[in-house]
Amino acid sequence: MKNLVIDLLIKMAKADVQTKELTAQVEAQSLLLAALGLTVGKGIPASMSSNIQKAILSAPEASAEILSTDADLLLAGPF
């Protein structure tokens, strides 16, 4: 019984680590997009701007962890 609990805790810890790694990747990509938007400024091509907006709008639907307020904040950015 003790081994079962230990195995369960190990699996939960691994899942937690994977979730945190994925969250860190998403945050890094968000920062990259923000930096790109600030660098390019208003010269951003319409198709790129449209793709960024589509990605931001679809993110809350794809993941329960992404809040709609996060998407609203990103949409209020320089895009």
Residue range 32-52: average pLDDT?
A: 71
Average pLDDT over residues 16-43: 80
51-70 pLDDT tens trace: 777 877 777 676 666 666 77
pTM: 0.46
Q: Where are the domains of the chain?
A: 2-75
Distance of CA 55 to CAs 17, 34, 59, 62, 75, Å? 25, 13, 6, 10, 10
Q: What is the largest CA-CA distance in the chain?
A: 63
Q: What is the pLDDT of residue 78?
A: 58
Please give the pLDDT value at position 34: 78
What is the tens place of the pLDDT at every residue in 1-27? 889 999 999 999 999 999 988 888 888
